[in-house]
Amino acid sequence: MWFWFFESRNNPRTAPLVSWFGGGPGNSAQYGMFTQHGPCEILKDGAEPTLRENSLNNHANVLYIDLPIGSGFSYGNGAQVNSTKDCSPYVWTFLQLWFEAFAEYENRDLSVYTESYGGHTGPEIVNYILDKNSEIKAGKGSGDVINVKALSASNAWFDTRIQEKANLDFALSNSYRSLINESLYQELLAEYTTEVVPGLEKCDETGTSKDCFAAYRSYLDGIEQPIWTTAMNKYDDWIMADIQPGGVRPPTYHQEYLERADVQKAIGARVNYTESGGQFGILESGDDAKSFLGELSRIVRDGVQVLIWAGDSDYVCNWVGTKRVADAVDWPRKKEFADKSLQPYRVQSVQKATFKSVNNLHYARVFDAGHNVWWYRKYKI
């Protein structure tokens, strides 16, 4: 598995350790590293990297990991990974070897940061680490305990049943512009109720690739495609990752840079760069339709600090759906959290977001930001 590691620019001996996993599914960690929060960025095609002032590693030691095998520069001879749960053992093994090689970080608290499809991979990775830690402490497993303390997931896809309904609601009414009218909303709501929900229930019941892929196709074809088509016909400048007029996404100038033979030779890459690898196998297995709300709930109950946050102009994994997921987390303080209203979050006296927190569960809605919320930030981390 390919990784980049960057020490904190400030107090690396005491700074926390953060691991970053891309979304996708199968999106290289280097997408987030170059476009959003790594120490360097590429500002135009053909340019060399330049220093990013507001890097995540200003105050944290950051480990970027290409997951799954086939993504970024990661490669291997084993069987193709076709599900989120199949990825976790690879991450556990990688971290064991990494801490062995970088022993000075072995006892450091670890945070898992991710986005988008990371609503699947993030909770599952943390959940798997907690399981392995329990086995080791009980004398039933080998390896070293990993001190996983936090999960941050931005604009993330956790639970289709909750978030697909939220997509409908958001498409009809949001702070920027309506994507569909009331008539289409009612038509798609009926499709959701009669076709999508039963399909998701069957996926939950059997867990088979056949049933889960059928559920995935039911909402992709029955709900998403009509919304996308309607929005594209309605607005010339519509993109699903940023629905505000003139919406934009991070430019991917880094791809050309990472595909250069001289760069690959200099960094020791053994395969060509792949921005998204293994995604079709994961999607064809029906993995997208599977819920990871249970894993998310477990890690909250276990005391892991969890931040769910979203740029509010994203349609894909919109703030309405991610908030509903946060409110649905099953833990002793569920009702208290769900009943709590969002409060203003200000930076230099200017409101930039709203948020709420109860103990170790936190939620934030970030204004005027799209799917890759880190890139849209207009203030320092």
233 phi and psi angles, rounded to 5 deg: -70, -25
Chain segment 209-249, per-residue pLDDT in tens = 999 999 999 999 999 999 999 999 999 999 999 999 999 99
Same domain? For 93 and 114 the reply is yes
- Domain annotation covers residue 241: no
Q: What is the CATH number of the domain that holds 289?
A: 3.40.50.1820
- Domain annotation covers residue 175: yes
Number of domains in the chain: 2
Spot the catalytic one: 37, 254, 362, 371.
Answer: 371
Task: Establish whether 327 is a catalytic residue.
Answer: no
CA distance 9 to 6: 9
pLDDT of residue 79: 60
Same domain? For 223 and 335 the reply is no
CA distance 73 to 70: 7
Same domain? For 12 and 90 the reply is yes
**Total residue length of the chain:** 381
Q: How many H helices and E strands in the chain? A: 15, 11
pLDDT of residue 380: 39
Question: Which of 179, 212, 234 lies at the terminal end of a domain, its last residue?
Answer: 234
CA distance 251 to 36: 10
Chain segment 38-97, per-residue pLDDT in tens = 999 999 988 999 999 989 999 999 999 998 888 889 888 766 678 888 899 999 999 999
Question: Which of 205, 234, 263 lies at the terminal end of a domain, its last residue?
Answer: 234
- Domain annotation covers residue 125: yes
Task: Establish whether 116 is a catalytic residue.
Answer: yes
Same domain? For 66 and 214 the reply is no
Same domain? For 45 and 138 the reply is yes
Same domain? For 24 and 137 the reply is yes
pLDDT of residue 372: 95
Range of the domain at 92: 3-158+248-376
- Domain annotation covers residue 132: yes
pLDDT of residue 46: 87
Same domain? For 27 and 142 the reply is yes
Spot the catalytic one: 19, 83, 116, 218.
Answer: 116
Same domain? For 260 and 369 the reply is yes
- Domain annotation covers residue 381: no
Which tokens sit at 119? 């609503």
**DSSP-H helix ranges across the chain:** 29-32, 84-101, 118-137, 160-172, 182-191, 197-206, 209-219, 225-234, 254-258, 261-267, 279-284, 293-301, 319-328, 334-339, 373-376
Task: Establish whether 88 is a catalytic residue.
Answer: no
- Domain annotation covers residue 239: no
Low pLDDT (below 70) residues in the chain: 78-80, 278-280, 378-381
In one-letter notation, the amino acid at residue 201 is E
Distances in Å between the Cα of 374 and the Cα atoms of 14, 15, 305, 366 are 24, 20, 19, 10
Same domain? For 283 and 334 the reply is yes
- Domain annotation covers residue 180: yes
Same domain? For 175 and 102 the reply is no
Same domain? For 66 and 150 the reply is yes
Question: Which of 234, 268, 297 lies at the terminal end of a domain, its last residue?
Answer: 234
Are 258 and 49 within 8 A, CB to CB? no
- Domain annotation covers residue 243: no
Beta 50-51 vs 61-65: how paired, if at all? unpaired
Same domain? For 56 and 183 the reply is no
Distance separating the N- and C-terminal Cα atoms of the chain: 28
